[in-house]
Amino acid sequence: MKVVIQRVSSASVTIDEKVVADIQKGLLVLVGIEDSDTQEDSNWLVGKIVNLRIFGDENQVMNLSVAAIDGDIIVVSQFTLHASTKKGNRPSYIKASKPEVAIPLYEKFVKKIEMELGKKVQTGIFGADMKVLLLNDGPVTIVIDSKNRD
């Protein structure tokens, strides 16, 4: 699994001109799933996301997690994170999982974040054409791949 984590002052997801997710201070997490991903990959990423110390403390040092600041999270599925651009100029998405594989893992991923965070996590809709609006705070953007844990 690959995730792009963005620390945000605000973020929202709109589908067919209807806002389906809307948060203030917290994280926007884009997640891409491939066939070789497992529940263990998901659990490891959840631990990283919820406990990643990227929010400022009283001295404005990045020392606090989203849980510590009682922040919110939006999770958005994004198969394009597994784009291969080695050949030509048109990306290939062959590594991205099909919905029948990805949706169950995505849903468990969201539920696990909710358990670890102790509150509801907002989401987009898997496979929908989404408009994601965010105000990146910092900017702070971190990319994590569960297959590369070094």
* Active-site residue flag, 14: no
Q: Which residues pair with 145 in a beta bridge?
A: 2
This prediction has a pTM of 0.94
Element (H, E) at 4: strand 2-15
Q: Catalytic residue among 14, 38, 80, 141, which?
A: 80
Contact 145, 2 (CB under 8 A): yes
| Helix H or strand E encompassing 106 | helix 99-117
Q: How far is Cα of residue 29 from the mean position of the Cα atoms in its chain? A: 2
- pLDDT tens, residue by residue, 21-68: 999 999 999 999 999 999 999 999 999 999 999 999 999 999 999 999
SS3 assignment, position 46: helix
- pLDDT reported for residue 80: 86
